[in-house]
Amino acid sequence: MPGDTMLQMHAQAPLRTVTLRSDSGFEVTVADRGAALTSILVPVRGRRLNTVLTYDDPEAYLGDRYYLGSTLGRYANRIRHGRLTLNGGSYQLATDPGAGGHCLHGGPDGFHRRRWTLTEAPDQLQLRCRYIASHGEQGFPGRLDVAVDYRIVGENALVIDYLAKTDRATVVNMANHAYFNLNGNLNGNLNGDGSTGDGSTIENHLLEVRAGHYTATDESRIPTGELAPVEGTDFDFRTPVRIGDRLRRIGALDVNLALDPGDEYIRRAASLHSPDSGITLNLHTTQAGLQVYSGGNLGVPFGPGAGICLEAQAFPDAPNNPGFPSTVLAAGETYRQRTVYEFTVEPG
């Protein structure tokens, strides 16, 4: 199809990146392919550590299979068999055989594969990523005008604002798919300099999530509609848990945790800490869910457990679960989502 041909041609264009910098040395780089976070450098005692998984060769992002740092959409996570009923109309969304035949992360050619327009602010602290999805793209209804704003605030914090408008009713659920490794991981190396060690995985990290429930799923990871309590399960992170201890029990993590409600517009949802580097990531979000994924399917040049995704988002398959918070966006309304990655470093 002509649209597919244009996508392939556009995907092969040279990668464009923009880097935001603060006076503290905190630095964030974003690529136009997927509006992806390709690095987050945190100053640590005279050096800077990259806290997200990164390809050595930037052009490798053009063939990325792991959603590395990408913006997910139009619908992050899964929609059962790609079937959507909205305002009396039925839509068949693009599905992924590798995801059990469900629609995953907006379809095989979702936002993560698209080339975005990047507009940097003169202060090098803000960046707007823009993309317009056509009506029927990956099967979704509605022309969707999308913006993702990256903004550095304070010394070591990154604010991500997601905005979208549609010309007809649709569903929207956007998120970022960065794989965090607070040891300064780059392609499985501790410091990105060829050195290796126990710190090259996320097993030593401590994870805390403010969530008393999770969305129970069937064998294909589609929610049953039940919000199950985490107490007594391997999904209980209400107090800090060493990730390696949990992975040895269950092999891998891939669960949507239902965040505890609060009165604040944005609240702290999770904390990730590396005792090796002394870096802590505090994640704040306006969203109801947090998908925790330990990278069990990561392959070359990385490997299982090389990084962990903390994907602030709406609940998976919400369009087919009326008991879940709605993800419907009506014409004339604006979708808004804010996630903040705030990094702190232990003195040393």
Annotated catalytic residues are 177, 311
How far is Cα 339 from Cα 281, in angstroms, rounded to an integer? 12
Beta strands in 45-191 (DSSP E): 47-50, 71-72, 78-79, 83-86, 89-92, 103-104, 117-120, 126-133, 144-153, 157-166, 170-171, 175-176, 179-180
Nearest one of 221, 335, 328, 202 to 276, comparing CA atoms: 202
How far is Cα 172 from Cα 286, in angstroms, rounded to an integer? 15
- Quickly count helices (H) and strands (E) in the chain: 2, 27
DSSP 122: T
**CB-CB contact of 278 with 263 (8 Å):** no
How far is Cα 272 from Cα 215, in angstroms, rounded to an integer? 21
Nearest one of 161, 173, 169 to 74, comparing CA atoms: 173
> What residues contact residue 187 under an 8 Å CB cut-off, 6+ apart?
53, 54, 55, 56, 301, 302
Nearest one of 162, 154, 146, 120 to 29, comparing CA atoms: 120
Structure tokens at 217: 């799923």
Strand partners, 335: 164
Nearest one of 111, 150, 113, 151 to 131, comparing CA atoms: 111
The position carrying tokens 């009923």 is 85
**CB-CB contact of 47 with 279 (8 Å):** no
Structure tokens at 266: 């944005």
